[in-house]
């Protein structure tokens, strides 16, 4: 089952409870996957969190992982997001060394091109905040590297589908489970 | 009415119809044992010698009765002693609810005496687990735990309860089992758009496609996996196999899912599978695997496994689909349901030529029984001949386990209790205790090796105290036979640390525990011992001397194509 490795985005709705995140992340680590990015936060329903995970793997394995995730009791739904049909964003904070006026101006100009905002300034540093996907954030990171990056923090990718599709929609995966209450 | 946490827990067990608990008390779980004192007439508690024995007993009870097993242990070492048993149950999809207590809330997270984060430890070996910190969530957690343990693909669930919760009080109202899904957490869980408490409804288009594939196939093979046993789908599987005239290979966990003496049985499949099973698997043009997960002990080399066949997988757990071997078609659903849908749609057919090919190979291994020493087949044939047909067999792990499955010919689900996935040596005696407690009217045969038996033989005291008439047959070759077999075949006969030329004297040991025992060296002595054991009415240990170099045959090396036999 070794195919070509790609970056896949998995979105999951889970119970907003202690231990759920470790259960989810543990699933990835014990299958031998390094999580590229991970972002978690509660949704419009405070009892439900949404986890966005990106991993590097092939298509067969990402399907297996989605099925493993669906087995976890606190997991409500799981969707593999199609990169061409979803919007992916992350927030990056970059603190750059800016000891004089010349460098400060140059950094601000670069920031403007990327629509980054200056969120903090001191006599010797500038801190920028930028939203985008990894193509955009890597580009600005490369340009700012020459000035000396003191700190760089990413929130991890969050992603949402375009158009009417939502994670709650009637997917085939869900349909398979939509069968009578035969538990007892 | 207001009740203490410990009493609520026991009332919740009664809601589930639990009447038997296996366990071992300790400091943190004292409140629960104190409450149990008042329920002596409703719940029987079996005190084992060690928590591991209790965990295997609860597992053996669950597998042999089809009910959910229940096991108690205290915090810290009590809880960690369960872990091998939990993992054993998890790997073989056995429904057991493990209940442990932890230190009190204020002591949690301070490395207190006998404190362990057991929910963290058991995360990868439970279907799910709970840490109960609040008395108000206790009843709901217990109800949810049982529902999850027995639903879908069954498995173990652990509930860890803080000691102060067992002493706290709250309102408890008895809720009949059939109403559990209407209230509390379970109602919320089943109210979700998707959840794991249901098995999926098979898609009829998928069924129709499979029916067509079955009709087209000229060389079909069925594999009966553990899912057939858990789903109790033996009648449906037999009907399908007989209607379509298809040979059936049986996986280790599938033993009992298809009658071992049916004319369509090709025997066990895999590393120690029969010639007939393994060759049929390689030659078939359609492989229909039912509740079978293509483990590395059968699909030894996934690339070449059934490479001439279209592979179809029926499994209740869709994360098993395509996990180890890529399939051409699959149906997610309960084996019993899917098989009965298939039975009603397929037409009667015959595969004389194909069967002639398959059954030209042996379905069982023959041994040279011209010498005086007992052969594995002689021991198992004698047991099968002299013990009742419905005898429950538990095994440990190693050569004796393979021999038992190759030669005993199981007839119903739950008749064989063995640690297949996890391969837990020391499982057998605890499992036999659970099986005998759960099936007081049946004979329980515990097949073991001298290595495995030594691991948990202290449970003989449990067997004696509760007057359990378990018959233990030790395949005593004075070595860790399976490891020695590998050392002989693969490691140039360098027998590193596998010779067990040491005590104890098992006959004297059994006597010390107050049980009957004898040592046998030939068939006549064995037969007499089996008769004596049954007549004795109490536990009996039969120590059978077998040849040091007897090997499990056939054998295919790990990672090899399934017909590359190292041994015929």
Complex ipTM: 0.85
The DSSP secondary structure of B30-69, one letter per residue, reads HHHHHHHGGGTTT-EEEE-SSHHHHHHHHHHHHHHHSSPE
Beta-carbon separation of B323 and A168 below 8 A: no
Beta-carbon separation of B323 and A177 below 8 A: no
Residues of B in contact with A74 (CB under 8 A): 128
User: A12-29 burial, b if ≥16 CB within 10 A, otherwise e?
Assistant: bbbbbeebbbebbbebbe
Yes or no: say if B286 and B307 are a contact pair by the CB < 8 Å rule: no
Pick A182's closest partner by Cβ from B196, B198, B321: B198
Say whether domain A6-81 belongs to CATH 3.10.129.10: no
Nearest Cα residue to B90 out of B226, B224, B282: B226
Pick B194's closest partner by Cβ from A22, A76, A180: A76
Q: Is the pLDDT of residue A50 over 70?
A: yes
Q: Is the pLDDT of residue B127 over 60?
A: yes
Q: Is the pLDDT of residue A180 over 80?
A: no
CA distance B222 to B231: 16
Q: Is the pLDDT of residue B21 over 60?
A: yes
* B193 — pLDDT class (breaks 50, 70, 90): low
For chain A positions 79-138, those within 8 Å of chain B (CB to CB) are none
Q: How far is A53 from chain B (nearest CA, A)?
A: 19
Superfamily of domain A87-158: ACT-like. Chain A, domain 2 (3.30.70.1150)
The mean of the pLDDT values for chain B is 95
Nearest Cα residue to A25 out of B286, B282, B123: B123
Q: Residue B327 CA to chain centroid, in angstroms?
A: 26
Judged by a CB distance cut-off of 8 A, whether residue A22 touches chain B is yes
Residues of A in contact with B201 (CB under 8 A): 176, 178-180
Q: Which of A88-97, A172-181, B491-500, B558-567 has the lowest mean pLDDT?
A: A172-181
* A143 — pLDDT class (breaks 50, 70, 90): very high
Nearest Cα residue to B16 out of B189, B159, B193: B159
The DSSP secondary structure of chain A, one letter per residue, reads -----EEEEEEEEEE--TTHHHHHHHHHHHTTPPEEEEEEEE-SSTTEEEEEEEEEE-HHHHHHHHHHHHHSTTEEEEEEEPGGGEEEEEEEEEEEE--SHHHHHHHHHHHHHTT-EEEEEETTEEEEEEEE-HHHHHHHHHHHHTT-EEEEEE---EEEESTT--TTS--HHHHHH-------
The predicted model gives B418-447 an average pLDDT of 98
Yes or no: say if B67 and B55 are a contact pair by the CB < 8 Å rule: no
* B194 — pLDDT class (breaks 50, 70, 90): low
Equal fold, B2-191 vs B376-552: yes
Beta-carbon separation of B321 and A67 below 8 A: yes
Total beta-carbon pairs less than 8 A apart between chain A and chain B? 83
Pick A73's closest partner by Cβ from B148, B181, B321: B148
Whole-number Cα distances in Å, A76 to A42, A49, B124, B296:
13, 10, 19, 31
| Torsion angle of the four alpha carbons B414, B415, B420, B425, in this order, in degrees rounded to the nearest 10 | 120
Judged by a CB distance cut-off of 8 A, whether residue A32 touches chain B is no
* Segment A78-122, tens digit of pLDDT: 999 988 889 999 999 999 999 999 999 999 999 999 999 999 999
Residue B366 confidence (pLDDT): 87
Cross-strand pairs, B534: none
Q: Is the pLDDT of residue A2 over 70?
A: no
Residues in Cβ contact with B512 at an 8 Å cutoff, skipping those fewer than 6 apart: none
Q: Is the pLDDT of residue B479 over 80?
A: yes
Domain B2-191: assigned CATH number:
3.40.50.970
CA distance B227 to A72: 20
* A177 — pLDDT class (breaks 50, 70, 90): very low
* Segment B204-254, tens digit of pLDDT: 999 999 999 999 999 999 999 999 999 999 999 999 999 999 999 999 999
Judged by a CB distance cut-off of 8 A, whether residue A184 touches chain B is yes
Residues of chain A above pLDDT 90, percent: 63
Q: Is the pLDDT of residue A171 over 70?
A: no
Domain boundaries, chain A: 6-81, 87-158
Residue A31 confidence (pLDDT): 82
Residues of A in contact with B190 (CB under 8 A): 181, 183
Nearest Cα residue to A10 out of A68, A94, A96, A73: A68
Pick A183's closest partner by Cβ from B181, B192, B317: B181
The predicted model gives B429-437 an average pLDDT of 98
Q: Is the pLDDT of residue B502 over 80?
A: yes
* Segment B33-44, tens digit of pLDDT: 999 999 999 999
Yes or no: say if A140 and A130 are a contact pair by the CB < 8 Å rule: yes
CA distance B542 to B400: 14
Judged by a CB distance cut-off of 8 A, whether residue A163 touches chain B is no
Beta-carbon separation of B197 and A181 below 8 A: yes
* Segment B515-562, tens digit of pLDDT: 999 999 999 999 999 999 999 999 999 999 999 999 999 999 999 999
Residues of chain A above pLDDT 70, percent: 90
The predicted model gives B404-417 an average pLDDT of 96
Q: Is the pLDDT of residue B130 over 90?
A: yes
Phi/psi region, residue B325 (left: phi>0; alpha: psi -120 to 50; beta: rest), is beta
Residue A181 confidence (pLDDT): 25
Phi/psi region, residue B93 (left: phi>0; alpha: psi -120 to 50; beta: rest), is left
Q: Is the pLDDT of residue B190 over 60?
A: yes
The 10 Å Cβ neighbour count of residue A59 is 14
- Going by DSSP bridges, is the β-strand pair B96-102/B69-73 parallel, antiparallel, or unpaired? parallel
Domain boundaries, chain B: 2-191, 204-358, 376-552
What top-level class would CATH report for the domain B376-552? alpha beta
Residues of B in contact with A22 (CB under 8 A): 120, 123
* Segment B140-189, tens digit of pLDDT: 999 999 999 999 999 999 999 999 999 999 999 999 999 998 888 888 88
Residue A42 confidence (pLDDT): 94
CA distance A136 to A146: 17
Nearest Cα residue to B298 out of B568, B563, B567: B563
Equal fold, A6-81 vs A87-158: yes
What is the fold of B204-358? Rossmann fold (3.40.50)
Catalytic residues of B: 51, 113-114, 163, 482
Residue A172 confidence (pLDDT): 41
Residue A169 confidence (pLDDT): 60
Cross-strand pairs, B311: B287
Nearest Cα residue to B262 out of B242, B243, B282, B232: B242
Residue B399 confidence (pLDDT): 97
The predicted model gives B25-49 an average pLDDT of 97
* B15 — pLDDT class (breaks 50, 70, 90): very high
Nearest residue on chain B to A31, alpha-carbon basis: B124
The predicted model gives B472-487 an average pLDDT of 97
CA distance B140 to B194: 20
């Amino acid at each position: 089952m070794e195919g070509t490795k790609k970056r896949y985005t998995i979105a999951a709705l889970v119970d907003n409870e202690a231990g759920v995140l470790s259960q989810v992340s543990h699933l990835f680590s014990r299958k031998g996957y390094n999580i590229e990015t991970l972002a978690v936060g509660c949704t419009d329903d405070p009892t439900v969190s949404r986890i966005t995970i990106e991993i590097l793997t092939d298509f067969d394995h990402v399907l297996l992982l989605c099925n493993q995730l669906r087995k976890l009791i606190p997991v409500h739904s799981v969707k593999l997001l199609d990169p061409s049909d979803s919007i992916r964003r992350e927030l990056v904070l970059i603190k750059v060394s800016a000891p004089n006026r010349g460098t400060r101006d140059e950094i601000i100009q670069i920031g403007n091109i990327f629509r980054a905002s200056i969120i903090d300034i001191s006599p010797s540093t500038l801190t920028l905040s930028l939203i985008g996907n990894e193509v955009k954030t890597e580009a600005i990171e490369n340009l700012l590297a020459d000035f000396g990056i003191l700190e760089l923090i990413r929130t991890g990718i969050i992603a949402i589908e375009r158009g009417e599709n939502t994670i709650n929609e009637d997917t085939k995966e869900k349909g398979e489970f939509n069968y009578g209450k035969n538990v007892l | 009415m207001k009740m203490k946490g410990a009493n609520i827990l026991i009332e919740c067990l009664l809601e589930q119809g639990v009447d038997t608990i296996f366990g071992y008390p300790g400091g943190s779980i004292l409140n629960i044992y104190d409450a149990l004192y008042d329920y002596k007439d409703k719940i029987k508690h079996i005190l084992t010698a060690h928590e591991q024995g209790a965990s295997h007993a609860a597992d053996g009870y669950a597998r042999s009765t089809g009910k959910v097993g229940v096991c108690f242990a205290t915090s810290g070492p009590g809880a960690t002693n369960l872990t091998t048993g939990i993992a054993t149950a998890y790997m073989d999809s056995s429904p057991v609810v493990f209940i442990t207590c932890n230190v009190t809330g204020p002591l949690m997270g301070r490395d207190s005496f006998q404190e362990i984060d057991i929910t963290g430890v058991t995360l990868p070996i439970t279907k799910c687990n709970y840490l109960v910190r609040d008395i108000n969530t206790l009843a709901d957690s217990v109800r949810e735990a049982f529902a999850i343990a027995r639903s879908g693909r069954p498995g173990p669930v652990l509930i860890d309860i803080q000691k102060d919760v067992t002493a706290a009080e709250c309102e408890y109202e008895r809720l009949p089992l059939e109403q559990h899904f209407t209230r509390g957490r379970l109602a919320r869980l089943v109210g979700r758009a998707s959840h794991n408490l249901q098995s999926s409804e098979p898609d009829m288009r998928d069924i129709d496609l499979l029916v067509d594939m079955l009709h087209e196939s000229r060389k079909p093979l069925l594999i009966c996996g553990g899912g057939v046993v858990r789903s109790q789908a033996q009648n449906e599987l037999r009907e399908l196999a007989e209607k379509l005239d298809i040979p059936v290979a049986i996986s280790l966990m599938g033993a009992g899912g298809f009658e071992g003496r049916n004319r369509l049985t090709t025997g066990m499949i895999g590393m120690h599978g029969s010639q007939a099973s393994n060759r049929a698997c390689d030659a078939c043009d359609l492989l229909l695997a039912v509740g079978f997960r293509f483990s590395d002990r059968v699909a030894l080399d996934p690339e070449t496994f059934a490479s001439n066949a279209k592979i179809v997988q029926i499994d209740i757990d869709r994360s098993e689909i395509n996990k180890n071997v890529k399939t051409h078609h699959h149906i997610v659903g309960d084996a019993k349901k899917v098989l009965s849908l298939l039975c009603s749609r397929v037409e009667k057919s015959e595969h004389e030529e194909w069967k002639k090919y398959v059954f030209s190979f042996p379905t069982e291994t023959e041994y040279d029984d011209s010498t005086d020493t007992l052969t594995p087949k002689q021991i198992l044939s004698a047991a099968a001949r002299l013990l009742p047909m419905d005898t429950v067999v538990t095994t440990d792990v190693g050569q004796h386990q393979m021999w038992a499955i190759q030669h005993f010919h199981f007839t119903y689900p739950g008749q064989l209790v063995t640690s297949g996935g996890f391969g837990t040596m020391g499982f057998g005696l605890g499992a036999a205790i659970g099986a005998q407690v759960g099936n007081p009217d049946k004979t329980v045969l515990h097949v073991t090796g001298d290595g495995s038996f030594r691991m948990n033989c202290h449970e003989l005291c449990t067997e004696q105290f509760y007057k359990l008439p378990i018959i233990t047959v030790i395949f005593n070759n004075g070595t860790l036979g399976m490891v020695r077999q590998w050392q002989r075949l693969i490691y140039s006969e360098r027998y590193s640390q596998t010779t067990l030329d040491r005590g104890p004297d098992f006959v004297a040991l059994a006597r010390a525990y107050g049980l009957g025992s004898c040592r046998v060296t030939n068939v006549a002595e064995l037969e007499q011992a089996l008769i004596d054991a049954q007549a004795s009415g109490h536990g009996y240990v039969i120590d059978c001397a077998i040849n040091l170099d007897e090997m499990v045959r056939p054998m295919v090396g790990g990672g090899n194509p399934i017909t590359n036999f190292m041994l015929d």
